[in-house]
Amino acid sequence: MSSASSSDRVTPLIYELAWEDVVFPNILACLSIKDCFNLRASSKECRSMVDEYFTKIRRVNLSQYKSFTPAAFKVLSTKVINIRHLNLANCKWITDELLAPVFENNKHLTFVNLSNICTGLTAAALQPLILNCKELKILRLQNCHWVTHGSIEALSFHQTELEEIDLTSCSELGDRAVTALLEKFRNLRILCLCNVSFITDQTLFAIASYSKKIQHLNLRGCWRITDIGLRSVGEYCVNLKSLMVRDCRNVTEFSLQPLRTKVFIDTQPQDAVYLHQGFPVGACRINRINMQI
């Protein structure tokens, strides 16, 4: 029997299939955002379908796109209304104006990553996030030099659910802002203060007092902290699993040695400077002072 001619065959187009049951989970979910935009440009029907798909998605990750245009982001930001996970790390083209509608339209965001956006954003970019997204749990602001004391204090005042925050190289911050953060968010599990050079032992005392659930703490490059503050963290933060203290020049084995059996530490014992009888520099200085007294 001869095969049916092409004119007799029924060949459904993608937009003729059930969108939510077939196309969205089995086809569009496998495409990148860029691929979705290419499909969107192919026809009016596909444009309507992709726009509808954008209203359903829960995750937007543009961190790998160096060439993503502000015009395309404007289209995306007007469509997405249900996202929970937003990753814009390295998107140096993003601005306060482009970002605000996303925060205003997606009140259930739980994860936001704005790391390595140094030029396009200001502290004002966080205001719509802080005021609208009350379910935020993870906030990453690595290398965001525009983050200010005021923006962190506003975050502490309006948010309630934060469990992880990365403030690496947020150079404007100091003890006051970080302490306000710690006092409010008692359920913090991950805290990164790497290269926040203005923090001192006062911040470590606040961690010991308010962050009993902390599991991962990054203090690399915080050269003002000392063994005294770190001993208090080791004593009261019993859930601590990892501690990063490389390039903390005033931290020695005096505070690290008691933690080594239960906490991963990014320095080796031989990295510390020792004097006679196996005591680290800080301990020997204390002993000498006591002897003089």
Round to whole Å and give the CA distance between 69 and 289.
63
Residue 4 pLDDT greater than 80, yes or no: no
In a domain, 33, yes or no: yes
pLDDT of residue 98: 95
Average pLDDT for 48-54: 95
- The total of structural domains in the chain comes to 1
In which band, very low, low, confident or very high, does the pLDDT at 280 lie, cut at 50, 70 and 90? very low
Residue 5 pLDDT greater than 60, yes or no: no
In a domain, 52, yes or no: yes
Residue 293 pLDDT greater than 50, yes or no: no
In a domain, 255, yes or no: no
Q: Which residues of 137-150 are buried (b: 16+ CB within 10 A; e: fewer)?
A: bbbbbbbbebbbee
pLDDT of residue 118: 80
Kindly report which listed range (27-31, 64-68, 76-80, 94-98) carries the lowest average pLDDT score: 64-68
Round to whole Å and give the CA distance between 19 and 21.
6
Q: Which residue has the higher pLDDT, 190 or 10?
A: 190
Round to whole Å and give the CA distance between 234 and 174.
21
In a domain, 97, yes or no: no
Round to whole Å and give the CA distance between 255 and 232.
9
Residue 274 pLDDT greater than 50, yes or no: no
In a domain, 163, yes or no: no
Q: Quick one: residue 230, left, alpha or beta (phi over 0 = left, psi -120 to 50 = alpha)?
A: alpha
Tens digit of each residue's pLDDT (9 = 90 or more) over 113-133: 999 998 889 999 999 999 999
In a domain, 146, yes or no: no
Tens digit of each residue's pLDDT (9 = 90 or more) over 159-209: 999 999 999 999 999 999 999 999 999 999 999 999 999 999 999 999 999
What's the length of the chain? Answer: 293
Residue 6 pLDDT greater than 70, yes or no: no
Task: Please state the pTM of the whole predicted model.
Answer: 0.86
In a domain, 214, yes or no: no
Best CA proximity match to 136, nearest among 104, 108, 102: 108
Residue pair 222/193 in contact (Cβ under 8 Å)? The answer is yes
Average pLDDT for 7-24: 71
In a domain, 36, yes or no: yes
| Site of tokens 């005042």 | 157
In which band, very low, low, confident or very high, does the pLDDT at 18 lie, cut at 50, 70 and 90? confident
Q: H helices of 85-160, where? A: 96-105, 126-132, 149-158
Domain that holds residue 19: 12-56
